[in-house]
Amino acid sequence: MCSPTFITTTIPYVNAAPHIGFALELVQADVSARYRRICGDDVCFQTGTDENAFKNVSSARERGVPVRSLVDENAARFRALADLLDVSIDRFVRTTSAAHHAAVTTLLAQLRREDLYRGGYEGLYCALCEDFYLRGDLVHGRCPDHGTPPIELAEENVFFRLSRYQDALRDLIATDRLRVIPEARKLEVLRFVERGLVDISISRDARRCEGWGVPFPADSSQVVYVWIDALINYLTEVGHQYWDAASATHVIGKNVWKFHAVYWPALLLSAELSLPKQIVVHGFLTNDGRKISKSAGDAVDPADYVRRVGVDGVRYFLLRHVRPFEDTDFSAERLEAAYQADLVHGIGNLVSRVTALCESARVDGLSASTLPAPGNYHEHLSAFRFDLALAEIWSEITALNQEVSATKPWDDVKNGCLTTARAKLLPIAERLGSIAYWLAPFLPSTSAAIRAQLSGAHISKSGPLFPRLR
């Protein structure tokens, strides 16, 4: 039976162009969406851009351009990144849209009235995170994510009684009714909740934000706090009806689990809406152990890497050589080494050998049928272990290369024994077709190229899937 499935990424700030760190999240979510589609689910895959942050105002001021011009320019870049990486999104939400503003207003109106109150706030604020911190959360007096000292900030805001939902959240997460993946992150969230939740400010002074943001309903002195506004993007395009019917998976970075695993479900409980099924928390791409980021100044445009090794070359590295739940050092050298070893000399060489032999032996093209997935492919993808699922495929590639070498069909072709050659090559081609099928969620264009060579009246060889680097 077709199951409605909703898969999302976070929505990044658009104060600057996208970098390779967000590319990781996009392709992880894309594999999950493509995999659920081939399993028969009704999938809606959504991403977008977070455009109401005050840091966008600051960035626009520094560049001497209108804020609207800045967010339009960078939102287009993030949309282009999804296209560049062959990401199969169904919806792209911009939080400056009228539809999103309406969704925010609707959600806030559904919160229990007793969960909202007006109060004063004084605390330590990181402008890069757009988040308040307790002094005990700082590392040597600095933001734990950005390494910058927070500023003292005091203002009057609208508050949400997050403390009221402490027990409910603890039970939901502990029993996996709200599943946090991996287990280490689940335990981290539970420790945070059990330490005691405090009420949170969900608005900001409109004057400090220069009026940029979603106006807080019935209070012109406030705009909606950007992180609350951003979370509601998950309801903007799909609406409550689809949200309630669908099984939702949020793919997020490890620095934003507080908002997704604590604030967001509490807001949904207050509004009496369904909760997401699971929150998948990935690690960071790092440079010498330090998170790659725009603020650190080491954020390279993913297009530079695509130009070097192609779209599927980039996707392959991010999915096979990055541990999904841990931090992983990323460099052009590591990317190119994986490309040469695994793609050029691995699957690229196998496809070239098999299709050339099949073309010489006049092997008939294959039908659309496929063999079962290799090894524990399904189990690994259900656990969001993209690296291990690809390892299963590459084990099959190695085994198939060995079978070609052992059966030596080229001897039969050379000796004119084409019937014998075809008998050897057909099962090999069928296994190669199955590899291509199960590879589709990861490397969609490579999968399509292999299957094109294996279909038609006869199997035929084309140019190299992965050209050697110069």
pLDDT of residue 298: 57
Are 459 and 409 spatial neighbours (Cβ–Cβ below 8 Å)?
A: no
| Tokens representing residue 218 in the block | 């019935």
Sheet strands side by side (includes 179-181):
91-94, 42-49, 4-9, 247-253, 278-282, 179-181
CB 320 within 8 A of CB 341: no
389-444 pLDDT, tens digit each: 999 999 999 999 999 999 999 999 999 999 999 999 999 999 999 999 999 999 99
According to the model, what pLDDT value does residue 296 have?
A: 54
The partner residues of 91 in beta bridges, in order of sequence, read: 46
pLDDT for position 1: 61
Show Cβ contacts of residue 98 under 8 Å, excluding neighbours closer than 6 positions: none
Distances (CA, A) of 361 to 215, 399, 418: 70, 22, 5
Position 90 scores a pLDDT of 97
Structural domains for the chain: 4-291 (3.40.50.620), 331-454 (1.10.730.10)
Centroid of chain to Cα 230: 16
Residues of the chain short of pLDDT 70, as ranges, are 1, 129, 134, 146, 292-299
Taking the C-alpha atoms of residue 93 and residue 191, their distance in angstroms, rounded to an integer, is: 33
- Cβ–Cβ < 8 Å for 451, 436: yes
Whole-number pLDDT of residue 44 = 96
Contacts 24+ apart (CB under 8 A), 402-407: 403/428, 404/350, 404/353, 404/354, 404/357, 404/428
pLDDT tens across 12-33, in order?
A: 999 988 989 899 999 999 999 9
- pLDDT confidence of residue 368: 80
